Chains A and B, each alone.
Chain A
Amino acid sequence: MTQKSSHDPNVTPMLPKASAATNTERESLAAEVRKLSFWYGETQALKEITLPIANRKVTALIGPSGCGKSTLLRSFNRMHDLYPGNRYGGEICLFPENHNIIDLDPFMVRLRIGMVFQKPNPFPKSIFENVAAGLRIQGVQNKKLLGDRVEQALRNAALWEEVKDRLSQSAYGLSGGQQQRLCIARALAPQPEILLLDEPTSALDPIATAKVEDLITEIRNRFTVIIVTHNMQQAARISDFTAYMHLGKLIEFAPTGELFTTPQEKLTRDYITGRFG
């Protein structure tokens, strides 16, 4: 532990000033973004973002297209590392260790942080194997345990009743909405510390969207969720905190109710009243 002391927020005085969180507040944080910048080649997509992520709460990232909200989300599990020419600056601290995600091995980061994408992307395997995929890589081999965890994840994703009789069938036989909930179950099965949702309902019809929103509400007290959404009503319905971004900058961050009722910044106000976006 002594070797880690330089990372311990209680002893190091070198915390960036931008971080306003006190020690007690930090205990309730799952992560904190500190002066994070990001470049796609020469183009700067994120400009010194600082943002706390509350533990076991839903944090929504909203903003017009191209504002960098998906870029920020994909920094959390280092998805940008898959493509050449990308560069990060600053930190995303993952608590409780206070390790900087940008310095960790991306494969280790992804074992702790799950992700659901815009388009449902189940693997060309059975429903069961899709959900078990993340568990297998974490070393779960016991058949009984695997079965239990798969069932639990499917129940969490509100999909169990619909698929329990056809677990061995191909995931491609499911509807789009079911596939997306399957992807959520796949991401939930390894019990990630943070779940990233990248516009998870943008490819779904209203009924499937409502089901996914219900399930996010259902898991909000057990998982830390960060959701990118184009839909402001969705952010208002399901999130505890909302961050408004514009042109790569974080404009405003507040508890969701406050941000939507009493926005402090003109840009935020214009966006949520539909003046642009």
Chain B
Amino acid sequence: MPTLPSSLSPSDPARSPLRASESFLHRRALWGSFAGGCLLIAAASSVFVTLGIVYVLVTESMGFFAQVSLLDFLTDTQWTPVFENAHFGVMTLVSATVTVAGIALAVSIPAGLALAIYLSEYARREVRETVKPCLELLEGVPTVVYGYFTLLFFTPLLQTFIPGLEGFNMLGPGMVMGIMILPYTASVSEDAMRAVPAGLREAGYALGYSRFRVAMRVVVPAAFSGITAAFILGMSRAVGETMVVAIAAGQNPNFSFNPTEGAATITAYIVQMAMGDLPHDSIAYQSVFAAGIVLFVITLTFNLIGFFLRRRFKEVY
């Protein structure tokens, strides 16, 4: 059997002049488990907060569903919690939420995709590095500013084109929200497109593809999961957005999908109730939590759809 030269033998103390002491190793192990524990608590806290929110939503709305049947809640077309003859048809609020979010996406998907394709595939580096920070700046504008911008400037502007448009309506807030979520949709999809390897683009060009064809047939499909994530993020944001709709879409629950009418969304209703002083155990108070659960379920559904879409189109470069 060949033997190692003695200078390479592992037991040679000369090979490990910096050999650690026992106490150092002990302290290091202790510190390691302490740091690991702290990080675990940090990671677990997000789970606990989510579970806590679900717990509060469910317990508070139990009292509500003890008095209002689920069937009425889902089929009634009026929402009048503080009236003498109270109705709790949550679809009234859902209709407005869906309409506004739908308009926002109808604006944001084409605008966001066009912007992302331009920035990723067409723009020169200097242009991209100027436009992208400006785009991300939109994110920093307080939503209350968007709300008053819609109410005082954008809706009057729209009224000059659309004569029947009410002062409070769903069209204006929806369109402004579409612009408001551009930082999510355009910027995140642009990141996804730029992450597509150059080799894939070159493969397209080498076949004689035009720039536009490379963008549409190669880059967008390859970045599909990232683009989906971008629009799911934007959608969740649009559904959960409060100030713009509370200010500019009105606070009148109205079962309608007509964008020229005003209507209260789920979030607008919740904020309206939060500003009044309702008795703690009244049914109107509990209705806030029931509406909250619906909101929670809607955003959860979108996130799940996004999750499965992403898994299905997961790119393997």
Contacts and interface: CB of A to CB of B under 8 A. Distances in A.
Interface of A: 77, 79, 82, 84, 107-108, 110-111, 114-115, 117, 119, 121-125, 133-134, 137-138, 172, 183, 186-187, 190
Interface string B37-49: 0000000000000
Interface in B195-219: 197, 199-210, 213, 217-218
Contacts of A138: 208
Given A121-B197, A124-B222, A79 B207 contact: no
Contact of A125 (B208, B210, B221): B221
Nearest to B220: A124
B221 A124 contact: yes
Residue from B197, B200, B222, B313 with most neighbouring chain A CB atoms (10 Å): B200
Residue from B200, B203, B221 with most neighbouring chain A CB atoms (10 Å): B203
Given A123-B218, A124-B222, A117 B207 contact: no
Contacts of B206: 77, 79, 110, 114-115, 117, 187
B316 A172 contact: yes
Contacts of A110: 205-208
27 contacts: A79-B205, A79-B206, A82-B202, A107-B208, A107-B209, A107-B210, A108-B208, A110-B205, A114-B206, A114-B207, A115-B206, A117-B203, A121-B202, A121-B203, A123-B200, A123-B204, A123-B217, A124-B221, A124-B222, A124-B224, A124-B313, A124-B315, A125-B221, A134-B207, A137-B207, A172-B316, A187-B207
B311 interface: no
Contacts of A134: 207-208
A187 B203 CA distance: 9
Shortest Cβ-Cβ A-B pairs, 10 listed:
A111-B208, A115-B206, A110-B208, A121-B199, A134-B207, A121-B203, A172-B316, A124-B222, A124-B221, A121-B200
Given A84-B124, A125-B221, A119 B207 contact: no
A119 B202 CA distance: 11
A114 B205 CA distance: 10
A185 B88 CA distance: 63
A82 B205 contact: yes
Nearest to B206: A115
Contacts of B197: 121
Residue from A108, A114, A137, A186 with most neighbouring chain B CB atoms (10 Å): A137
A117 B221 CA distance: 20
Interface of B: 124, 197, 199-210, 213, 217-218, 221-222, 224, 313, 315-316
Mostly, the B contact residues are helix
Residue from B207, B218, B316 with most neighbouring chain A CB atoms (10 Å): B207
B190 to A, nearest CB: 18
Contacts of A121: 197, 199-200, 202-203
A110 B208 CA distance: 5
Contacts of B199: 117, 119, 121
A77 B205 CA distance: 9
Contacts of B217: 123, 133
Contacts of A172: 316
Residue from A114, A124, A134 with most neighbouring chain B CB atoms (10 Å): A124
Contacts of B218: 123
A130 to B, nearest CB: 9
Nearest to A84: B124
B315 to A, nearest CB: 6
Contacts of A111: 208
Given A107-B210, A121-B197, A124-B315, A79 B202 contact: yes
Nearest to A79: B202
B202 A117 contact: yes
Contacts of B213: 137
Nearest to A117: B199
A74 to B, nearest CB: 9
A186 B208 contact: no
B208 A137 contact: yes
A135 B124 CA distance: 31
B209 A137 contact: yes
A82 B270 CA distance: 53
Given A79-B205, A137-B209, 13 more contacts: A82-B202, A107-B208, A107-B210, A111-B208, A114-B206, A117-B203, A123-B203, A123-B204, A123-B222, A134-B208, A186-B203, A186-B207, A187-B207
